[in-house]
Amino acid sequence: MEWLYVLMPIAGVKIFWPGLIILGVGVGIIGGFFGMGGAWMVTPGLNILGFPMAFAIGTDIAHMAGKSLISTMRHGKFGNVDYKLGLIMLVGTVVGFEIGAQMIMWLERLGSVEKVVRYLYIILLAFIAWMVFHDINVKKRKEAEMRAAGQDASQAVGVQWHKTFHAIKIPPMVHFNEAGIYCSAWLPIFVSFLTGWLAGILGIGGGLIRMPSLIYIVGCPTHVAVGTDLFEVAISGLYGAGTYTYKGRTELVAAVIMLIGASMGAQVGAVATKYIKGYGIRYAFGIAVVGCILSIITKLMAKGMNLPFLDDVSTAIVLVTVSSLSLYILLKFIAGCKKEVAMKAAKG
């Protein structure tokens, strides 16, 4: 079974290469579907396969850049990418990220970085999960009320916090055509600065935070939030890939092997958004966030209670979340494709 393992030239470790392809495909599907890079899933996955942590992070970012780029191209053809919005947000993201990274160095000098980052991560993810499920609950309640009143329940939407933010009219006011919104340019800049700052502190790409922010604060439709977020991830991923490789912490052979699976998986995930409504995507996203929270809490318990087996449990939670979500999306993709091809055959 020697042929199943390949020696990585830079990291100097032997890696089970089918595991790289499986991880790449799974995260590619999820990334193309949700508009996330997937760092919180891939980095522990690579660490389990045998990579030292610094190489796991660098390799993940490198593959994420390629996967996000192809997903952005796919979403762009569907009209899901608002490039104007993405470019305006890029400035805030980069600035916020850099300030977040510098704050980490300051916290490191104080000796408080682990505590602050851990608890901030849990609080943030819990808030995001609450926001998503609260939104779904509000929508269900409004649907029931509209049905009871004899109205068309398909028009019901959940929380609409973005309407409050859109009412703040600080010039310059900008039309974002693909997103279908008209708001102050300072809103996406402020949101991207905040999400970039959080991403800088937590050491992630930011899609996990930026995608729901685009929906709930900026007011993008779900599909446009996914596509525009991927555009941001592609650019920040390319920058991250360059910087980590320059620091010598990228195993490019592994990144390429993952990318082969991820770039095809990302296409599947992106096309699957055609077959699932906006709220279906949000619901699945909420489940992904809950999986992430459980994984982090288990890891904290492993350290705090000195129970090393909980480290394996934490990793298992991440892998189960990745596998089950990507399988769900793949099945929806296959069902949607069958229906579309059958409809075309019936017409033709």
Partner 1 sequence: MKARLYKLFTWCMVLCLAIPEFALAAGGGKIENIVIVADTRKFTGWEAWWTNLYNESHLYFALLTIVLIPTIGVIFGVFADFLMGFIGIDLKSRDLADH
Nearer to partner 1, 120 or 342 (CB): 342
Nearer to partner 1, 259 or 289 (CB): 259
Q: How far is the CB of 39 from partner 1 (least distance, A)?
A: 15
Footprint of partner 1 on 32-71 (CB under 8 A): 62-63, 65-67, 69-70
Return the residue of 12, 18, 53, 168 that touches partner 1, per CB under 8 A: 12
Q: Does 29 bind partner 1 (CB under 8 A)?
A: no
By CB under 8 A, the residues from 226 to 255 that bind partner 1 are: 238, 241-243, 245-250, 252-253, 255
From 7-15, 41-49, 115-123, 317-325, span contacting partner 1 (CB under 8 A): 7-15
User: Which residue stretch of 34-42, 119-127, 296-304, 339-347 sits at the interface with partner 1 (rule: CB under 8 A)?
Assistant: 339-347
Q: Does 260 bind partner 1 (CB under 8 A)?
A: yes
* Count of residues that interact with partner 1, criterion CB under 8 A: 72
Name which of 126 and 242 has its Cβ closer to partner 1. Answer: 242
Q: Are residues 41 and 25 in contact, defined by beta-carbon separation less than 8 angstroms?
A: no
Q: Give the amino acid at 63.
A: H
Listed as own residue / partner, the contacts of 196-199 with beta carbons closer than 8 Å and 24 or more positions apart are 196/92, 196/93, 196/94, 196/95, 196/96, 196/97, 196/99, 196/100, 197/96, 197/97, 197/99, 197/100, 197/103, 198/96, 198/100, 198/120, 198/124, 199/93, 199/96, 199/97, 199/100
Please report which residue ranges of the chain form alpha helices under DSSP H. 17-34, 39-49, 53-77, 83-110, 113-148, 161-166, 186-202, 207-213, 222-246, 252-272, 278-304, 309-347
Q: Is 10 in the site for partner 1 (CB under 8 A)?
A: yes
Unique residue bearing structure tokens 């769900």 = 328
The yes or no reply on residue 277 touching partner 1 (CB under 8 A) is yes
To partner 1, the closest distance from the beta carbon of 315 in angstroms equals 25
Which of 250, 321 has the CB closer to partner 1?
250
Identify residues 92-131 at the interface with partner 1 (CB under 8 A): 92, 94-95, 98-99, 102, 105-106, 109
Tokens 């973005």 belong to residue: 162
Q: Does 287 bind partner 1 (CB under 8 A)?
A: no
Among 43, 195, 213, 222, binds partner 1 (CB under 8 A): 222
Cα separation, 15 vs 18, whole angstroms: 9
First to last CA, the chain: 50
> Rounded distance, CA 110 to CA 156, Å?
49
Whole-angstrom Cα distance, residue 68 to residue 235? 9
168 touches partner 1 (CB under 8 A): no
Binder of partner 1 out of 43, 195, 263, 314 (CB under 8 A): 263
